Amino acid sequence: MSSLLVLGIESSCDETGVALVRAEGEGVPTLLAHALHTQVAMHADYGGVVPELASRDHIRRVIPLANEVLAQSGTALEAIDMVAFTRGPGLAGALLVGAGLACALGAALDKPVLGVHHLEGHLLSPFLSADPPEFPFIALLVSGGHTQLMRVDGVGRYELLGETIDDAAGEAFDKSAKLLGLGYPGGPALARLAEFGDPEGFKLPRPLLHSGNLDFSFAGLKTAVLTHAKRMESAPCDQQRADLAASTQAAIVEVLVKKSLNALKNSGLKRLVVAGGVGANARLRDDLNAACAARGVRVHYPELHLCTDNGAMIALAGAMRMQAGIEAPSRQYAFDVKPR
């Protein structure tokens, strides 16, 4: 394979993303252009994502975003070699928008299309950073729907080492933020409030911290936050709210750091990749960086603007799967999506 120009489309939840990457030979693909529209403001009034509104907005945005990417990179539509789209997991109606456009473009241009797993996009996204990782590595995948530790030996060679048995880390951030009366999305809001609080202000559980395996559980933490938040209702105090936010963040981060270190130790690997929306959390980054530096482990993150959902990671994953010879180009335009 010499050169491959891949258009990537992401529409699994509340971000519409389109991007163009070029893969040359075996080298790490380069990002030529990307465009993103976030629906955060639209869903904020409802306190969470409204699936039908999400689908309708993807429909409104996706073609203008694709045009923007082509214009930004000075690329003619006909020059695209392949279209990658998020097949799942995500909201069915939202996924169908990206899949529909990808397959319509593929059919019109007579070019192959490729459905990509959303989490594989997150997992490989640090390859678009200035300091890309090398295989093998341990990956900590922390998003709104997933919390997983994986051993990654190459593209498509993933071994699940542990995952959450109930809520995801992002969900723990979001639900705790809601209990504290913070807006949507809760993770960044809670992190901002935590800056003013004492992380030891409240004693909160660290579920499964010493379980001996690499699984996570955050449901009990949420219940503890609920208990404290309820107590606070009778005598609201800004400092106490900030302390509870800081304590919640500290509890989530401590578990994520400890389990990541255990995974590194068990595997003997010296590289960690952190991906997914929660990977944008500054406290998580600081604590992981410090703990890993002390153990001679290098930590790789996606560029901050590529931590949350985006089209670049989908174009990249599609290109890397082709480079690895995992996928044969497909002209099956009778597409489907896999919400779960």
| Contacting residues for 222 by C-beta, under 8 A, at least 6 apart | 167, 172, 175, 176, 179
- CA-CA distance, 183 to 190, in Å (whole number)? 9
Figure out which of the listed residues 85, 127, 173, 216 binds ligand KG4, where binding follows CB under 6 A. Answer: 173
Asked if residue 89 binds ligand KG4 (CB under 6 A), the reply is no
Figure out which of the listed residues 188, 197, 199, 207 binds ligand KG4, where binding follows CB under 6 A. Answer: 188
Q: CB under 6 A: which stretch of 19-27, 126-134, 183-191, 232-240 binds ligand KG4?
A: 183-191
Per-residue x/- track, 40-79, ligand KG4 (CB under 6 A): ----------------------------------------
Asked if residue 170 binds ligand KG4 (CB under 6 A), the reply is yes
Pick 4 or 280: Cβ nearer ligand KG4: 280
Asked if residue 174 binds ligand KG4 (CB under 6 A), the reply is yes
Pick 22 or 175: Cβ nearer ligand KG4: 175
Figure out which of the listed residues 93, 98, 133, 186 binds ligand KG4, where binding follows CB under 6 A. Answer: 186
- Name the residue among 116, 57, 77 with its Cα closest to residue 312: 116
Scan residues 100-159 and list those touching ligand KG4 (CB under 6 A).
Answer: 143-145
Shortest spacing between CB 176 and ligand KG4, in angstroms: 10
**Helix (H) and strand (E) counts in the chain:** 10, 10
Per-residue x/- track, 308-337, ligand KG4 (CB under 6 A): xx----------------------------
| Contacting residues for 284 by C-beta, under 8 A, at least 6 apart | 142, 253, 256, 257, 274, 278
Per-residue x/- track, 266-305, ligand KG4 (CB under 6 A): ----------xxx-xx------------------------
Shortest spacing between CB 14 and ligand KG4, in angstroms: 8
Pick 47 or 329: Cβ nearer ligand KG4: 47
Which residue has tokens 């209990």? 179
Half-sphere exposure of 22 (CA within 13 A, CB side): 9
Total site size for ligand KG4, rule CB under 6 A = 18
Pick 4 or 172: Cβ nearer ligand KG4: 172
- What strand order describes the sheet that includes 113-117? 30-38, 15-24, 3-10, 82-88, 113-117
- CA-CA distance, 146 to 134, in Å (whole number)? 23
Which tokens is 67 given?
Answer: 């045009």
183-187: long-range pairs with CB below 8 Å, 24+: 183/44, 183/47, 184/40, 184/43, 184/44, 184/46, 184/47, 184/48, 185/40, 185/144, 187/144, 187/277, 187/278, 187/280, 187/281
Pick 23 or 62: Cβ nearer ligand KG4: 62
Which residue has tokens 């255990």? 262
Which tokens is 288 given?
Answer: 């992981």
Give me the residues that bind ligand KG4 (CB under 6 A), please. Answer: 143-145, 170, 173-174, 185-188, 191, 276-278, 280-281, 308-309
